Amino acid sequence: MITNTELKSIKRKLSNRFDHLTKKTDNISSLSSIIRWTERAINYFGTTLKPHEAGYILYNGQMLDFSGGHKDQRRLEHVDIFKLYTPEEMEKIDSKHDDPTQIFQTQANALRFTAHQYSGYMYLSMYDTQLITSSQLETIEYILTYDVVKYLFDTPRHIIYDVLNEDSRAVKYGEASSVFELRRKLYDYIQHEL
């Protein structure tokens, strides 16, 4: 016969297991939404290997091409991401309160990104509901070691970052000179397991 203490222990273990499975299901649902929005963005804008043409770093590490067809320069603004949305989707977005860049960043877990061509700075922006993936960190490392001579641009050697809340106010901001330092400073915003 099972005692009350053993029964409570079993219930607690089952409850913990259920919570764990629920969290995994939520993560899978969230991941499928991220993949859908990422594919939609890639199909519309394309990708680039050149940091100076990119507007966003996607969850899978690819850089969204914001050159607008112009070689070696970014011609589109971050807000141009609204072109992804159908008129029906845009009607649902309250322009006074909802920012298309914020909506896209959270839907696709994308980092807003700018490589300043001549200053040696890279600017990253994210929301506090996002987690930076290992693929995004690898891309940031790639950007920091980008071939300067081949493309005649200063390679970003310094990262300026901010983490914004839902009101687009910075809750954390700073600078880092390496991915290692960025990991340390943004530890709570790094995806440690999927």
Phi first, then psi: give them for residue 112, nearest 5 degrees. Answer: -70, 135
Asked whether residue 193 carries a pLDDT value surpassing 60, the answer given is no
Residues 6-29, mean pLDDT to the nearest whole number: 54
So what's the pLDDT on residue 1? 63
So what's the pLDDT on residue 106? 87
What is d(CA 191, CA 179) in angstroms, rounded to the nearest whole number? 14
Strand partners, 27: none
pTM value? Answer: 0.79
Could you tell me which of 58, 181, 192, 166 has the C-alpha nearest to residue 102? 166
Residues 130-147, mean pLDDT to the nearest whole number: 86
Residues 133-153, mean pLDDT to the nearest whole number: 74
4-18, 56-70, 160-174: segment of lowest average pLDDT: 4-18
Asked whether residue 171 carries a pLDDT value surpassing 70, the answer given is yes
So what's the pLDDT on residue 31? 81
So what's the pLDDT on residue 174? 92
Residue pair 157/116 in contact (Cβ under 8 Å)? The answer is no
Residues 45-74, mean pLDDT to the nearest whole number: 91
Which long-range contacts link 10-17 to residues 24+ away (Cβ below 8 Å)? Answer: none
So what's the pLDDT on residue 45? 96
pLDDT band at 64; cut points 50, 70, 90 = very high
Residues 147-154, mean pLDDT to the nearest whole number: 48
Question: For residue 39, what are its two tokens?
Answer: 């594919």
pLDDT band at 194; cut points 50, 70, 90 = very low
69-83, 150-164, 177-191: segment of lowest average pLDDT: 150-164
Residues 5-30, mean pLDDT to the nearest whole number: 56
